[in-house]
Amino acid sequence: MSDNGRRFWNVRLAMGLAIVLAFASLAFWTGLHVRGPYSGRSGTAPSTPTTPAALPPGAAAPGAGEAPGTPPPAGVPPGWSDGTPGWPGGMPSLPPAGDAAVAVAWRVGPAVVQVNTAVRKVVSDFLGGPMEEDELGLGSGVIFDSRGLVLTNNHVIADASRISVLLPDGRTFRGRLVGSDPFTDLAVVQIVNPRGTLPVAPLGDSDLLQVGQPVVAIGNPYGFSFSVTTGVVSALGRVLPVAGNYHVDLQGLIQTDASINPGNSGGPLLNAAGEVIGLNTAIVQQAQGIGFAIPINLARKVAADLIRYGRVIRIGFSGGNLSPDLVDRIHSEAGIRLPVGQGVFVIDVLPDSPASRAGIQRGDIVTHANGQPVRQMEDLNVLVEKLGRGGHIRLAVVREKKRFQTDVVL
């Protein structure tokens, strides 16, 4: 088959799968509203006093690393202060008895941060010539390690030339990107040269979640800093395609009706015990009360890889799950007859990844891994996690009705 014919076949196959998946995903592509580069990272800085001015490269904001004003009053935990931007008038010495949401906000609120970013853009000046300007954006994050490590979303910090982290007590620090992962929409930011005690949020176990249990979301929607909303776990195990540089399906998401808006991205979803059980990441734009969070157990594993290796150990491609029913629908709706009845269809390959180095291409169908059938992407994810860095996977692949095997080194 010629190069043009090969490209045409792959494009037709990709279009056919995309058409079917679009219907199968309840039109999340058309209704999805994701913070960061999609809406939360707007070109105009929010008109709130909590967004700091853009910082010169490598410089910290005036007073960064130092808590401005007077120290917190007696009885206020580290991270709170009297009359801070996020909590006017300060917090009471004790949360009201029996109010779980207040207790959660009291316990974890100090560790929820506002992540401010600047992305350098080249635009045209009034004479039509090129000029550079900063596109300012904001999101949320949560301090999960006493070393000043912050969990947030990849789309919050994507392409940022400068990052700053604002705490509820008014302290501002320069942030350094430790690593990010577009396939899970997660990132870790390091607070640079922290001074004083940093509050840390406890991490829970998202595998223990049950539908209907109460949850609390804390973040910075539309720049309204350190806002608290409540709801319940509406569903578990949701799969959501999101926009971006790669065609990514976020797996195993927590669905909640706790109010989530642009700017909440990266903020924690908490259980009644005040433990982080998810990281808020997306909403359905044209709906009300349909938000999604990345399970903290996944975020914990991703963060460990980012801290240790600067990247996540994975096979390096995004894919759609094929089933006999889906294969039949692709044939009936797109006129494409696939040579296999199940497997994983390769939608995109991450450059310089194990998959790309093994020769995997867009349009390939992976049917087996180390001799075992592959029915969904989760099968490959489990194998990658089991083998770890340096592991070997032999993939059975179908390309243009031809079958071959290739070795992937993680």
Got the DSSP string for 95-159? PPTT-HHHHHHHHHGGGEEEEEEEEEEEEE-TTS-EEEEEEEEEEEEEEEETTTEEEE-HHHHTT
Q: Identify the bridge partners of residue 120 per DSSP, sorted by sequence position.
A: 134
Q: Report residue 122 CA to chain centroid gap.
A: 26
Exposed e or buried b for every residue in 10-19, given b needs 16+ CB within 10 A? beebbebbee
Q: Identify the bridge partners of residue 392 per DSSP, sorted by sequence position.
A: 409
Predicted confidence band of residue 10 (pLDDT cuts 50, 70, 90): low
Q: What CATH code is assigned to 317-409?
A: 2.30.42.10
Q: What confidence score (pLDDT) does residue 76 get?
A: 41
Residue ranges, CATH 2.40.10.10, the chain: 28-36+203-307
The predicted model gives 170-194 an average pLDDT of: 91
CA–CA separation, 165 and 51 (whole Å)? 10
What proportion of the chain, given as a percentage, has pLDDT over 70? 73
Q: What confidence score (pLDDT) does residue 333 get?
A: 77
Residue ranges, CATH 2.30.42.10, the chain: 317-409
Q: For residues 69 and 151, which has the higher predicted lDDT (pLDDT)?
A: 151
CA–CA separation, 192 and 176 (whole Å)? 7
Q: What confidence score (pLDDT) does residue 1 get?
A: 53
Give helix 3-24 / helix 324-334 axis angle, nearest 10°: 110
Chain position carrying tokens 């910290």: 60
Answer for the pair 325, 286: CB distance below 8 angstroms, yes or no.
no
Q: CATH classification of 28-36+203-307, choosing from 3.40.50.720, 2.60.120.200, 3.10.105.10, 2.40.10.10?
A: 2.40.10.10
- 243-260 pLDDT tens trace: 555 556 788 899 999 988
CA distances from 363 to 8, 14, 39, 99, 359 (A): 11, 7, 31, 53, 12
Q: For residues 182 and 172, which has the higher predicted lDDT (pLDDT)?
A: 172
Within 10 angstroms of residue 109's Cβ, the number of other Cβ atoms is 25
* Amino acid in the structure at residue 395: L
Q: Which residues are CB-neighbours of 398 under 8 A, at least 6 positions away?
A: 339, 340, 343, 364, 365, 367
- 39-89 pLDDT tens trace: 334 333 332 222 233 333 333 333 333 333 333 333 344 444 333 344 444
Q: What confidence score (pLDDT) does residue 67 get?
A: 33
Number of Cα atoms under 13 Å in the Cβ half of residue 347: 19
Answer for the pair 359, 386: CB distance below 8 angstroms, yes or no.
no
Answer for the pair 340, 352: CB distance below 8 angstroms, yes or no.
no
Least confident of 81-85, 239-243, 340-344: 81-85
pLDDT at 288 over 50: yes
Q: What confidence score (pLDDT) does residue 6 get?
A: 52
Full-model pTM: 0.67
Active site (catalytic) residues = 155, 185, 265
Element containing residue 3 per DSSP (H, E): helix 3-24
